[in-house]
Structure 1
Amino acid sequence: MLNLEVQPLKKEFIQIAWERLNNLTKPPGSLGRLEEIAAKLVAIYENPMPEIKKKAVLVFASDHGVTEEGVSAYPKEVTAQMVFNFLRGGAGINVLARHAGADVVVVDVGVDYDFGKIDGLVSKKVVKGAGNIAKGMAMTRSDAIKCIEIGIELVKEYHQKGYNLFATGEMGIGNTTPSSAVVSVLTNSPVEEVTGKGTGIDEETFKRKVEVIKRAIKINKPDASDPFDVLSKIGGPEIGAIAGVVLCCAHLRLPVIVDGFISTAGALIAYCINPSVKDYIFASHNSVERGHKKALDFIGLKPLVDLNLRLGEGTGAAVAMTVIEAGLKIYREMATFDEAGVSKSDK
C-alpha cells in the first residue's frame, strides 16, 4: 500500500490556467498568490475549470509517553478530553471548519483511553499512546507503517464519498516534542533550532524539553535516510497518519492543506518517502514554533498566512481553506476582458 505512485503536475494544465488568469479583468498577476493557488488547483485536478466539492479536516489524536518527562504545560489526560470536545463541536477546529464549510473527521490513532463506541469518532487505534522516546522507541516499525496506512485508507474512503479537498489536523499532548525530534533528524538541524515552547511552557521546561529531545535522538539513533525508521523511533501515531494523508492525496491528485508544526512533521515524513508529494501540498500558515519554518523550507513550501498561530488541531489549515477557495472563485467567477467588454492594457 505504501508504494503509491505520484505524478508531477503537468505543465499544459498550468499553462491553461495562466492563459485564463491573464485574461481576467485585472492587471496580470495583480491578485498575487490567489492566482498561483488557482493555477496549482487546475494542475492538481487536471481540470481547466475545477470545482471544490466536499472538504474534510482529518484530525488525528494520540498520546505520547514523553509527557512523563515534564515537557508539556498540560497533563496527558487533556488529549482524550479534547477528543470529546471535538465530537461536541466545541473546539477551535470545529468553529473554523464550520466557517470554511468543511467537515471535521476525528480519528483515534493512539489515545491512551478507551472511548468505546462513540458516534462521530473514527476508531483506528494502533497503540495506547506512543512510547516515551526519552527511554526507547515511540513504536515498532510495523505500527508506524500501520499509522501511515490509516491516513491512506481514510483519504481513499472519504474521496469515494465525494470529498476532494483535505486538510490535516492533530491532537496530542506533548506532540511538539517528537515533532521537533523528527524535524531535527530529517533536516539535519540542531535541536535548539527546531524546538519551541509548544502550548506555552516556561523557560525551565523548555530547557528540559531540548535535553529530552537530544536524549531521545541519542538513545534511539534514528536513521535520517529512512523516514520509516525516524517515524517509529522518535515520531508518533498522528504524525504517521498525517504522512499517509499527504501521500494518498498526492497519489489521487487531490490538494492537501497541511496545518502547523506537527502536521508539517508528518508532511516531512511523506516528502522524505516521496519528494513528488510537494506539488500537492498547500502549506497553510507559519506557526510560532521555530521548527515549523525549518521544515517548510526543507520541503520547499511557502505558507499562505502568518497569524502567529500555535493551537494545532487543523485550525490554520481551516483558515487557509477559505483563502484557497477564494483563489479558485476568482479563477472561476471573474469575468474575462472579452466577457466584460473591457479593453486590455496596450502595454
Structure 2
Amino acid sequence: MQHTGLPFDDIRHLVATMPGPDVLARAAALERQGALLKPPGALGRLEEIAVHLAAWQGKARPTADRPMVAVFAGTHGVSARGVSPYPASVTKEMMAAFTAGRAAINQICSTFEAGLRVFDLALDLPTGDIVEEAALDERACAATMAFGMQAIAGGTDVLVLGEMGIGNTTVAAALCHGLYGGAAEDWVGAGTGATGDVLARKIDAVRAAVALHKPSLGDPLEALRRLGGRELAAIAGAVLSARHERVPVVLDGYVVTAAAAVLHALEPSALDHCLAGHVSAERGHRLVLEKIGLSPLLDLGMRLGEGTGGGLALGIVKAAVACHKGMATFAEAGVSGAG
C-alpha cells in the first residue's frame, strides 16, 4: 500500500479506487451463454455465476482451475466472558486439525480440488475485550487488513474466505449490530452451540459492547477495529485485495460476511465481485446478507465456519464454469435453435 497519513487512509484510498467489472468480457460471456446448447436461461444461476466470473476475471471464458480457501484464525478477549461453550484454547487445537488434514474443510477442499491456506493471526495475543475497550487500535487493525491482502499471493482464480476463532460469532454479531442497529437479540445466534446462560451472556456482551462504542460507529472502519477481531480485519483486507487483483470471492458464513459488510458500508459496490456461498443457521447471517444484497447459493443449515459452506459452493462455481466453457453451441452441435 502507498502510505499517506493515518493508517486507515490507505484503506479508504483502496476502496475509492476499486476497479469495476470488465464490460466487454461480460458481454462476450452473455453472448456465449445465448448460443450454448440449451434454452435461454435454462441453467438458471449457473449462467449468472459464469457471467459473474467472466466480468470480474476479465475473461470471456472464466476459469476455476486454481481455487483457494483461505482460513483466518484469531482469538478474542470477549471469549473470557463465557460467551461460548468452548474454551478459547480450541482455536489453536483446530489449527492443528487443519494442518493435519483432519477438519471438515480439509475434506471439502480435497473433494473440489481446492488449495487451503490457514493463517494464524497472533493466537497467543487475544484482542481487547470489546465490552470494556476496543478490540484493536487503528494501526493494528490496518496492519492486519494489509496482512489479509496477501492471501492471494501466489495466484488463484477464485478465492473462498473462511475463519476460525472461539468468540468470533459474538464479535460478528456486535459488528452487525453496530453497523445496522436493531436489537442485540436480532444479531446473536447459537454460534458453536450457545444456549441458556451462555447465550444470555453472549447477548449481554453484544449489547454492552455496542453501547460502549456507539459514538464512534458511524465510521465502518472504526466499527471494525472496535468491535471486530484480527480474522475479521484480515478477511476485509482479502476481499479488498481480491477486488483489485480481479479475483472473484466466495464468502462463507456469518463471521466472513460481517467482515465483508464493513466494506459494503464504506462503499455499496465494494462487494460486487463477491458471491455468498451459503446462508448459515445463524439468525444474523440471513439478515446481513439481506443488508448487503447477496443471495446465497446454498442453504444447508450449517454453522461450522472454517470456509465449509463457501467450499461446498465452490462445487457449484466449478460446474458453472465447466458448462460455460465445455458445452457446445447450437451451431457446433448441428442442432436447430429456437425459431
User: TM-score, normalization: structure 1?
Assistant: 0.91
- Which position in structure 1 is the counterpart of 2:73? 61
For residues 109 and 216 of structure 2, the distance between their equivalents in structure 1, rounded to whole angstroms, comes to 37
Among 129, 132, 141, the alignment partner of 2:129 is: 132
Q: How does 1:1-347 map to 2 (within 5 A)?
A: 1=1, 2=11, 3-4=13-14, 5-112=17-124, 128-155=125-152, 157-159=153-155, 163-221=156-214, 223-346=216-339
Q: Which runs of 5+ in 1 are unaligned?
A: 113-127
1:179-207: per-residue Cα shift (whole Å, max 9, x none)? 00111111223211111010111133212
Contact 1:185/1:222 (<8 A) preserved: no
For residues 231 and 222 of structure 1, the distance between their equivalents in structure 2, rounded to whole angstroms, comes to 14
Distance 1:222 1:238, change over 3 A: farther
Q: Identity across aligned pairs (percent)?
A: 39
Give the drift of 1:15.
Answer: 2.2
SS of alignment partner, residue 221 of structure 1: helix
Distance 1:294 1:222, change over 3 A: farther
SS of alignment partner, residue 269 of structure 2: helix
For residues 215 and 136 of structure 2, the distance between their equivalents in structure 1, rounded to whole angstroms, comes to 12
1:287-338: per-residue Cα shift (whole Å, max 9, x none)? 0111111111111111111011100000011101111011011100011100
Instruction: Identify which range, 274-283 or 133-142, moves more after superposition.
Output: 274-283
RMSD: 1.3
SS of alignment partner, residue 41 of structure 2: coil
- Which position in structure 2 is the counterpart of 1:124? none
Give the drift of 1:49.
Answer: 1.5
Give the drift of 1:224.
Answer: 3.1
Give the drift of 1:222.
Answer: 5.6
SS of alignment partner, residue 63 of structure 1: coil
User: TM-score, normalization: structure 2?
Assistant: 0.93
Give the drift of 1:169.
Answer: 0.9
Give the drift of 1:220.
Answer: 2.5
Contact 1:7/1:276 (<8 A) preserved: no
For residues 223 and 111 of structure 1, the distance between their equivalents in structure 2, rounded to whole angstroms, comes to 27
Instruction: Identify which range, 320-329 or 186-195, moves more after superposition.
Output: 186-195
For residues 52 and 208 of structure 1, the distance between their equivalents in structure 2, rounded to whole angstroms, comes to 43
SS of alignment partner, residue 282 of structure 1: strand
Give the drift of 1:270.
Answer: 2.3
Q: Which runs of 5+ in 2 are unaligned?
A: 2-10
SS of alignment partner, residue 67 of structure 2: strand
Give the drift of 1:48.
Answer: 1.1
SS of alignment partner, residue 13 of structure 1: helix
